[in-house]
Amino acid sequence: MNKIIEKPNIIFTRANPSQKLYIVESLHKLGFMVTVVGDGVNDSPSIKVANTGIAMGSGSDAARDASDIIIGDDDLNNIIIGIEEGRRVFDNFKKAICYVMTSQVS
């Protein structure tokens, strides 16, 4: 499994619930951050254990309850847009803090 993990941005598909949970727990033991996207009851355990759990809005109640993020329109491209926007907000926040700190020190 270590040879697979050495490649960045690995995506696992078509895994049964026990395999999903095993993959997430194994990656945690190796020190990786893990995101799980799912929409069914069988995805709930791995969504809950992952660092970030993402559920589809049309998915089961169990998956939505276990997740950190719910995508309302079921479009996975919104994840990328959200990450980019979040990084931009974080960068702007850091710049604002630096500005306030330097202006108040003098």
Q: Give 1-52 pLDDT, tens digit per residue.
A: 555 566 667 778 888 889 999 999 998 998 888 989 888 999 999 999 999 9
Q: And the tokens for 14?
A: 């078509």
DSSP assignment of 41-64 equals: GGGHHHHHHSSEEEEETTS-HHHH
0.95 exceeded by pTM: no
Report the share of the chain in percent with pLDDT over 90. 46
Give the CA dihedral 40, 10, 67, 69, nearest 10 degrees. Answer: -120
b/e map 1-27, b = 16+ CB within 10 Å: eeeeeeeeeeeeeeeeeeebbebbeeb
Range name among 26-30, 45-49, 86-90, 102-106 with the lowest pLDDT average: 102-106
Q: How far apart are CA 91 and CA 95, in angstroms?
A: 6
